[in-house]
A and B are shown apart, each in its own frame.
Chain A
Amino acid sequence: MPPAFKSIATLSQELKNGEVSSRQLVEQAVARIDTLNPELNAVVCLEADQALANADQADAKRAKGEHSPLLGIPMLHKDIFCTQGMRTTCGSKMLADFVPPYDATVVQKLKDAGMINLGKCNMDEFAMGSSNETSVFGACKNPWDVTRVPGGSSGGSAVAVASGMVPFATGTDTGGSIRQPAALCGITGLKPTYGRVSRYGMIAFASSMDQAGPMAHSAQDCALVLNAMAGHDPLDSTCDNTPVPNYHQTLDHPITGLRIGVPKEFFSSHLNTEVATAIDTAVRELERAGATVKEVSLPSTDLAVSTYYVIAPAEASANLSRYDGVRYGYRCEAPSDLQDLYVRSRTEGFGAEVKRRILVGTFTLSAASYDQYFMKAQQVRRLITQEYDSVLNEVDVIAGPAAPNTAFALNDTSKSITDMYMEDVFTIGANLAGLPAISLPAGLVNGLPVGLQLIGQRFGEAQLLNVAHQFQSRTDWHTRRPTLEAVR
């Protein structure tokens, strides 16, 4: 394995053995970002000096005998997490110059665990998109094929890991924004149960679904990082205080007798047939590992996308009202009056997709359409949740594809807006129901990665990571790396 692609688990061991220093890892990461980023555009902010200083501190701690597994490991944050003193844009012109005076809880926790943050990753503007093309910094490219998208909205994070810049990056997932880019870039990405990881300091898109999670090469790495990310936070009322297990400890449990349900609705006309075959093969591998597989039904799957595209824009329309040009963020030149200040600051500061969703959300919440849209969507959301819960009474884990296709072409004008929304058809259900879900590499179709999605019971992250790790112990898809020939 080339050094750039090593896992956290390996690097941690090498650091412990004194084979490498944190400074060396950070220097390697910075050099690789310098080489690859001009083409891939995964990193939008790099603070190398600060990272090196922190690496030296980590090395000093190691020298004193401290050996926590994440100490000194380089990483990147999705640019949706507020980082004290480090520009945080959320991929938007609106926040192009915003420097937060505080750290998000996730940022603080990973800092406390000793990880070295190098900077920030590209993303769809305000996490609204499935291709990373709505970013004010421009598109980010898929390292497996630079003419293709990495997926979104955590596209930059997925690319940074897949291309070996860093072994780990944070992502957030409101409708599939960790799992779909993880699938399209051939890495492992976990969206935890809603409430498992604090949302404090994570710039809000749709508050009832936003959830932060790890993006790395393997389930084992995700487990190591989730140990540090998860847990109650008094600053987030929706953050749960269910005790955090040691996710690493249960990775090796055998999965004999594990009950897997495969929803027939996930194998519909939306799904690319070659992707379907790869997923089917992956599920059979789990069966060989001792799991029992049966077909289950989630009849409201087709309603998930429209339900999501009522609720998420509604919440977003309010969440994004604070960007008004008054206190911080983009302000238009020479406003003539208050109305002009609002209208031009928001018109000029937000991109098209963000404005579209604000308009949709404003409409669905208006007095005349509230009952017909917002209320109805809330009812369907409850229905979808009940369907997932009832299936998860019969099986331990739901398995299926993470995305309907492999990575699609950049600037694909044949793709309509609603085609783009359909990218999330298999991932949205877990967000609406608040369930944990993971995407892991499960094959290559025409040289492009395919992601297997596993959806678990509420707070069942340990089981998901266990199943994913068992799969990865039997297969090598997660060790496949893009050649990056086009980049060098």
Chain B
Amino acid sequence: MSLLTAADLDAIRISVKVALAATAVTLPFGFVFAYLMTFGRFRGKAVVEVFINLPLTLPPVVIGYLLLLALGSHGWLSPLFELFGIRLIFTWKAAVVASAVVGFPLMVRSIRLAMGAIDHQLVHASRTLGAGKLDTLFSVILPLSRSGIVAGSSLMFARSLGEFGATIIVAGNVPGVTQTIPLAIYDYVSSPGGESAALSLCVVAISISVVVLFFHEYLGAHLARRD
């Protein structure tokens, strides 16, 4: 097995960076969204539910293409980004957006699972003890959703590491800039003689996944013990 090249190391670095950033960006939105879906009462909840879960069932390539339409130079959202002087498409930030959109439903699902198990009477207790809605959210709901937040974040991180279809469309496959592990493996496999290099990166991908899953298990067990 050949050692990893500089480009491979770049791919690993970019993968981890994109996955971390995607998880960090998604977490607050996922939390607020899970809260609204669990405790909120509003019209059209079912419609929102379907839309938010769409990325789970759509081919990632479709999401990538839709993102390209939205964020591209003539996209619907491009004026917004121009306003802030941000260029997204074909940068690592686009890969973050792609991962975030694809992984969002996983994050929301995990957090909702934990939030759904919270006894509503605890929320009532906190309100009658003088805590406002926001205070209750941070002092009761957030700590009791920890296990879901941990599970959602690790799932999201792992899913981001594997993101391929949407990423290649909005971020491209530029070594050292937007090339993540899956994209690098794709490159190796499609060029002659790249099998062993592909295999080394596969080993790296497996190792990272195993570490993430162990970390998830450890935190889960730790939280369970504390409760």
Are A and B subunits of one complex?
Answer: no
